[in-house]
Copies of this chain bind each other. A is one copy, B any other.
Amino acid sequence: MRVAALAGGVGGAKLASGLEAALPDGGLSVIVNTADDFELWGLHISPDLDTVMYTLAGIANPETGWGIKDETFDSLGMLGEYGEDTWFLLGDRDIATHVLRTERLKKGESLTAVTGGLSKALGIPSRVLPMSDERVSTMLDTPYGRLEFQEYFVRRGQRDEVLGVELRGIENSRPTGEVLEALSGAAAIVFCPSNPVVSIGPILAVPGMRDALADSSAPKVAVSPIIGGKALKGPADRMLSSLGHESAAAGVARMYAGLVDGMVIDRADEGERAGIEALGMRVLVTDAVMRDEADRARLAYEVLGFAEEISGSSGRSG
């Protein structure tokens, strides 16, 4: 069984690692948001690709979900001694990733090829795929002014109200051949519990991506990143509200209406089942919080089972 997952950072990476554990080696392709990529000290940093890659390689920092475990920060300390503003926490091992990525991109390799090479070297059996090889930048309008995503997210600690989102460059992006292949060959497509605005949103906004999803006959299942009205991690809840969406599992479902066949929601949101079903979606109510690796695998099995159930009931040969 081949599965394609759409993912942003920490939450998406967790479910992706559960899916990897649940599938035979090579069965999983993770299509990752790259709209929060940015340059720092001339290095090309892809925060979501890194988080997915480190998580699937089993080297992610278990405390934070991002970065590398047992990381040191001597490079960053030295950058500070040189008078640099060290707002973005670059670990020493992490820097190696950015240095290699930057060098290989400069040499003309695509981000897809670079990511494939790095993932393979780390022993990852799944395919980690940037949503696009073109550069897209998430720009956020806030009362503080216009902010690049990482400035909002890391530098200013997500304290600004998000009033608007621009995906700069999205019109010139397109899904890579690898992404299209992953989608067309998938027996199930999973929207991971990532921020629907700034993680899954940019993936869906790549011109041609929605068509590719529509063309696939595979069941499509989304896992809500909002539980009890709150994001488990990050600013998705406040961002949904300030952008006029509902910070609720049903609100996420509405954003995915017409795109997914089923929503996986937490027991805390049982009450939203009817509202989501009214959108024409099937609903799986379960424990959607991933506290540890066992949770990730369990949730992944449930998601895959749910997809299979949808596939069977709709007569699809997923």
B79 near A96 (CB under 8 angstroms)?
Answer: yes
Tell me which residues across on chain B come within 8 A of A81, comparing CB atoms.
96, 121-122
Q: Which of the candidate stretches A70-78, A138-146, A230-238 sits at the interface with the other chain?
A: A70-78
Name A83's contact: one of B91, B94, B102, B121 (CB within 8 Å): B121
Task: Assess whether A93 is in contact with B74, with CB atoms less than 8 Å apart.
Answer: yes
Q: A79–B91 Cα gap in the complex (Å)?
A: 13
Name the contact of A95 in the complex, choosing from B42, B75, B102, B103 (C-beta under 8 A).
Answer: B75
Q: How far is the CB of A79 from chain B (nearest CB, A)?
A: 5
> Is A213 part of the contact surface with B, judged by Cβ < 8 Å?
no
Q: Select which of B41, B72, B99, B122 is within 8 A of A72 by beta carbon.
A: B72
- CA A94 to CA B99, docked complex, whole Å: 14
When the two chains form their complex, are residues B42 and A82 in contact, meaning their CB atoms are under 8 A apart? no
Q: What CA separation (Å) do A106 and B74 show in the bound complex?
A: 24
> In the docked arrangement, what's the CA distance between A81 and B92, Å?
13
A89 within 8 A of B: no
Which A residues, 97 to 136, have Cβ-Cβ distances below 8 Å to chain B? 97, 99-100, 102-103, 106, 118, 121-122
Inside 8 A of A102's CB, which chain B residues have their CB? 42
Q: Looking at the assembled complex, report how far the CB atom of A33 sits from the nearest CB atom of chain B, in whole angstroms.
A: 23
Beyond A74-B92, A78-B93, A82-B97, 12 extra complex contacts between A and B, CB < 8 Å: A41-B100, A72-B72, A72-B74, A74-B74, A75-B75, A75-B92, A75-B99, A78-B92, A78-B95, A78-B96, A79-B96, A99-B99
B68, B76, B100, B122: the one contacting A79 at CB < 8 Å is B100
Do A100 and B75 touch across chains, with their CB atoms under 8 A apart? no
Distance in angstroms between the alpha carbons of A124 and B100 in the assembled complex: 31
Once the chains bind, are B77 and A93 in contact (CB under 8 Å)? yes
Q: Name the contact of A99 in the complex, choosing from B77, B79, B106 (C-beta under 8 A).
A: B79
A205 at the interface (CB under 8 A from B): no
Give residues of chain A (47-90) contacting chain B, Cβ–Cβ below 8 Å: 68, 71-72, 74-79, 81-84
Q: Which residue of chain B has the shortest Cβ distance to A86 in the bound complex?
A: B96
In contact, A82 and B100 (Cβ under 8 angstroms): yes
Q: How far is the CB of A259 from chain B (nearest CB, A)?
A: 36
A165 an interface residue at 8 Å Cβ cutoff? no
Q: Cα distance A81–B53 when bound, in Å?
A: 14
Given A82-B118, A121-B83: A42 touches B103 (CB 8 Å cut-off): yes
Judged by a CB distance under 8 angstroms, whether A43 is at the interface is yes
Closest Cβ of chain B to A123, distance in Å, is 9
